[in-house]
């Protein structure tokens, strides 16, 4: 397998999946806030924490892609 193809595949999967996860997280959090507005603060805190974890996975994919590219 070509190195550039491996890098492209790593970035593609490593960015699409966290993006889908963030979209689903935000969608469900907004739905929960709409159903229970009193709990919006705690829901928002949990949502931001979960989004940060999903974004960290995308950063790990970028690091792996850079390692593949330059090693």
Q: Evaluate whether 62 touches 11 at the Cβ level (below 8 Å).
A: yes
- Binned at pLDDT 50, 70 and 90, residue 56 comes out as very high
Token pair recorded at residue 70: 């330059």
CATH of the domain at 18: 1.20.20.10
Per residue in 1-13, pLDDT (tens digit) is 689 999 999 999 9
Residue 49: give the domain boundaries. 3-70
Rounded Cα distance, 22 and 10, in Å: 18
pLDDT for position 2: 87
40 CB-near residues (< 8 Å, 6+ apart): 33
Which uninterrupted H or E stretch holds 47?
A: helix 40-70
What's this model's pTM, rounded to 2 decimal places?
0.83
Which pLDDT tens digit goes with each residue over 15-54? 999 999 999 999 999 999 999 999 999 999 999 999 999 9
Q: How many domains does the chain have?
A: 1
């Amino acid at each position: 397998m070509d190195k550039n193809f491996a890098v492209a595949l790593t970035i593609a999967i490593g960015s699409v999946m966290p993006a889908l996860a963030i979209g689903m997280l935000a969608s469900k959090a907004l739905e929960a806030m709409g159903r229970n507005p009193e709990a919006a603060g705690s829901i928002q805190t949990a949502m931001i924490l979960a989004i940060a974890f999903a974004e960290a996975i995308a950063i790990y994919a970028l690091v792996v892609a850079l390692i593949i590219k330059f090693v």
